[in-house]
Structure 1
Amino acid sequence: MTHRHRVYLVPGFFGFTQMGDKETERIAYFQNVPRLLEQRFQERGIDARVHAIASAPTSGLEARARDVFREMARTANEDDAQLHLVGHSTGGLDARSVVSPRMAREAPDFVKRVRSVVTIATPHQGTPLASFSNQGGVGKTLLRYLWLFTFLTLHRKAMPLRTAALQACYWLVLRSEEAKLPPNLFNQIVRLTADLSEGEREELIQFFSQVGENQVLIQDLMPISMRAFNANTADREGVRYGCVVTGAPPPRWSLPLLLTPDALLHGLFAFLYAKSAPQSRELQIPERTPAQTQALQDVLGRRFESKSDGIVPSRSQVWGQVLHVATADHLDVMGHFDQPPEHISWLKSGSHFQQPQFQAMWDRVIDFTVGGAATVHPGKEEERRASSDG
């Protein structure tokens, strides 16, 4: 059967598709996204396939683009389908690289069949969070420690203390689930690591080995680096470019929140939000079109310049047509939001982004890529309607 469209989902920083073999314990980057897209394609009668692809976790943008070439090559030549790239965060930059005239000499022939590029929460002008992480090698040091911790935790040699600690954590997770406490990222990680198969263990060690060896991506995402990237990465003629912009409410503390298990994750979000410095002078934002500015104002308010999704300033995310603006944190739009058990929030931002907003956003992406519908940016009324539908 010939498929008229292929949609490639390109992940951001860390670049994995999923970790773990068991479906109930698997950590997926695109949480429930492929399932939703395939369901929507079927409902609309659209002949399309979805492919979530991997890339080098923390390698530089050039290396990641070549990874995308290699991953697309596994399926792109099976038919003459029109191709579409949807990149989240750094994955949006990878998508732009793949189709850019700069990469034309290296690009396989199938790249000529790419019809659209959608970037979601992508730091097109960089993020000051990368500059902070690059100062004194803070980010690189943390990533190397992460690799060391992972190696010591997962190494195949039996370590009684490690095994006992993992089993104790696993027991706590089971008790919390029996008490019907909301699941969180800690639960997911413990479930994944408490009972690893040999294949899972080797896969995780290999993945974090790449993280420990190469952290160039931190430097590449600094605003000053992105200015050079944009100067050398022109849009390709004949390809439509659209973006989804995210912005979360500024972190707010309350006594009830302080007394919940979410306090630590909300504290992490508050720290990241501050370091993303949405009004930093580092950011040099090119002039927007009136339509782009209006789209941001309609959802994020007139002071949208001060908004961030916790990782990337909202005003840094604009590239091409603004397809959708979401009140959401950086990971909400990938399906990591508070609506258990299908979805588990990683950042605890208090954005109140849930299933209706998730579906509305991805419907916009479908309209622009394979749906053939005219795309109009959503205003406040549409966001309110999505909320009331939930």
Structure 2
Amino acid sequence: MRHHVVLIPGFGGFDVLGQIQYYTGITSFVDRWQNDPSGDNLDLRRTVELHYFDNLPTAAVVTRADRLKNYLAKRIARGSFQSCDKLILIGHSTGGLDIRKLLQDLRLHPDEPIPVDNDANAVMASEILHVMSRIVFLSVPQYGTNIANWTISHNLERRIGISLISGFASTVLQVIPGKIIDVLGGFLLAQNLREAIRDAVRESSVILAGNDPVKLANAREAASELRLWLENIDKDFLAIQDLRNTDNVSIPNVDADDDSDDPDDSVSPAHYPPKTRRRETTFWGNKGIKTMSFATLGKDAHPYNAGSPGDTWNPISLWGPYITSIRGCDSTYAAAWLACASGGFDTNTKTDRSLRDIDDSEVKRRMEQWENDGIVNTASMLWPNEEETILVHGDHADIIGHYKLDPAEVVPAQGGARQHDRYDLFVSAEDDGIDKFDDERFEKVWTKIFNFCIKQTD
């Protein structure tokens, strides 16, 4: 028996873009965890196999879930996953909604044949269900997020920006010097994000690759991956509709008062009414599928008062207070946090609740509607078992390993590519206080996750 752990990326996600990893540091962590002689269940730990799933970045959840279903069916058809094995799906952000949509489809259509290579190798949906064992949700917008509503309201600016970036990448990306990235992005992008962009440019540059045939091949591959990623974002951005918070928005094909049929197949799990959510969790329980949820809570990037709603985002009313009052946050995180805090998100925010933090301490507090991790409102992550949700202080990228800027182990020469192995994509807390996500917190989170993956009984 093997425990197959599949890491599923979120919005904008990928497995590896060029050489930039979505989940970073996990492979080396698993190696340490599997070979730690001081821990329990050494034999079980060594049955874990790690898989990285490469999904479409911003496609609708229904499309992303279908792609995930085909990926899992292919693993079964080709013998990678055996009927005696256990399958664990770990989803970050939108990746968690992909998992829920996948399981909803399998619940409703267990006898569906899923073609692999050709119809003769079709895998039944029930075969995927047979090996399903665990689900881990990381910072998942189970009820949507304000930042999606904000993005939808600024749709024209988004489309213009993505189109310009896509055209830029397909024409001059390979020859632009890294220093220009600093000039162009200095006023808008924080340093760590600029470093990630600079590395993407370097590893996509055939000019920097020189005449080395291997470096040239790697540069062409990285450039094509980057162009395809940007094109997918430009042409298919439907996930943003699936991620909006619906407190004040009517969703087609969803009737919260109808206790008979489930919503239309096109409806995002973030928009499921209570009766469908009950059917989800009941189905998982009947199949013996266990869940674990982590909610991330980033440092406040604006001095709101407890119990107050977030203000409407605009650069005049909010950017000024950020400049004068916030320390330890970079501009990218502050702008995203403020966009996520604005709006009317109010799901599960009205009362105090008891949660656990990563140190297994009880936390009793009200979750304010404006609190978030830079991308997702924290209250939206408190599902399916609110009281068992594990609260982690950190931003949206910290939990997937992007919490510090690490130089590459082997620094490339002038003709090489990337300079870093990971990035602190949101610098949300530079101090050593409770908001600081560090190596110790990363190890605690992922140790808890992988111990849960192999847990045999309650």
TM bucket (normalised to shorter chain) is 0.7 to 0.9
Match of 2:339 in 1: 275
Quick check: 1:102–1:232 contact (8 Å CA) kept in 2?
Answer: no
- Establish whether residue 295 from structure 1 lines up as the match of residue 313 from structure 2: no
Mapped to 1, the partners of 2:67 and 2:103 lie a distance apart of 13
Mapped to 2, the partners of 1:287 and 1:114 lie a distance apart of 35
Could you state the TM-score of these two structures normalised by the residue count of structure 2?
0.67
Q: 1:84 to 1:270 in 2, by over 3 A?
A: same
Which stretch of the first structure deviates more once superposed, 195-204 or 50-59? 195-204
Q: CA deviation at 1:333?
A: 0.2
1:125 alignment partner, one of 143, 149, 162: 143
The number of residue pairs the alignment matches comes to 343
Match of 2:199 in 1: 191
Quick check: 2:88–2:134 contact (8 Å CA) kept in 1?
Answer: yes
Quick check: 1:38–1:49 contact (8 Å CA) kept in 2?
Answer: no
Mapping of residues 232-247 of structure 1, within 5 Å: 232=276, 234-235=280-281, 236=284, 237=286, 238-247=288-297
2:384 alignment partner, one of 292, 308, 320: 320
Q: 1:212 to 1:299 in 2, by over 3 A?
A: farther
- Establish whether residue 285 from structure 1 lines up as the match of residue 296 from structure 2: no
- Establish whether residue 358 from structure 1 lines up as the match of residue 442 from structure 2: yes
- Establish whether residue 153 from structure 1 lines up as the match of residue 169 from structure 2: yes
Mapped to 1, the partners of 2:241 and 2:440 lie a distance apart of 36
Q: CA deviation at 1:198?
A: 1.5
Q: CA deviation at 1:370?
A: 1.4
Mapped to 2, the partners of 1:314 and 1:243 lie a distance apart of 12
Q: CA deviation at 1:249?
A: 1.7
Q: 1:117 to 1:167 in 2, by over 3 A?
A: closer
Which stretch of the first structure deviates more once superposed, 142-151 or 122-131? 142-151
Q: For structure 2, which runs of at least 5 residues remain unmatched after alignment?
A: 37-41, 113-124, 184-189, 205-218, 252-269, 303-321, 408-420, 430-434
Q: 1:255 to 1:207 in 2, by over 3 A?
A: same
The one-letter code sitting in structure 1 at the alignment partner of 2:331 is G
Q: CA deviation at 1:10?
A: 0.7
Mapped to 2, the partners of 1:143 and 1:74 lie a distance apart of 35
Mapped to 2, the partners of 1:312 and 1:167 lie a distance apart of 31
Q: CA deviation at 1:211?
A: 1.0
Mapped to 1, the partners of 2:403 and 2:86 lie a distance apart of 31
Mapping of residues 52-71 of structure 1, within 5 Å: 52-71=52-71
Quick check: 2:132–2:289 contact (8 Å CA) kept in 1?
Answer: yes
- Establish whether residue 202 from structure 1 lines up as the match of residue 206 from structure 2: no
Mapped to 1, the partners of 2:73 and 2:191 lie a distance apart of 37
Match of 1:33 in 2: 26
Mapped to 2, the partners of 1:165 and 1:8 lie a distance apart of 36
Mapped to 1, the partners of 2:94 and 2:297 lie a distance apart of 17
Q: 1:74 to 1:42 in 2, by over 3 A?
A: farther
Mapping of residues 1-390 of structure 1, within 5 Å: 3-20=1-18, 26-43=19-36, 44-45=42-43, 46=45, 47-76=47-76, 77-78=79-80, 79-80=82-83, 81-100=85-104, 101-102=107-108, 104=110, 106=112, 107=125, 109-135=127-153, 137-138=155-156, 141-143=157-159, 145-155=161-171, 159=172, 165-169=176-180, 184-196=192-204, 197-224=219-246, 226-228=270-272, 232=276, 234-235=280-281, 236=284, 237=286, 238-251=288-301, 266-277=330-341, 281-285=344-348, 293-295=354-356, 302-305=365-368, 306-321=370-385, 322=388, 324-338=390-404, 340-341=406-407, 343-350=422-429, 351-372=435-456
Could you state the TM-score of these two structures normalised by the residue count of structure 1?
0.77
Mapped to 2, the partners of 1:143 and 1:362 lie a distance apart of 36
Bigger Rg, which one: 2
| Higher helix proportion | 1
Quick check: 1:60–1:216 contact (8 Å CA) kept in 2?
Answer: yes
Quick check: 1:116–1:239 contact (8 Å CA) kept in 2?
Answer: yes
The two structures, once aligned, show a CA RMSD in angstroms of 3.2
Mapped to 2, the partners of 1:338 and 1:330 lie a distance apart of 13
Secondary structure of the 1:356 match is helix
Q: 1:318 to 1:257 in 2, by over 3 A?
A: closer
What is the identity percentage for the equivalent residue pairs of Structure 1 and Structure 2?
20
Quick check: 1:299–1:325 contact (8 Å CA) kept in 2?
Answer: no
Quick check: 1:118–1:243 contact (8 Å CA) kept in 2?
Answer: yes
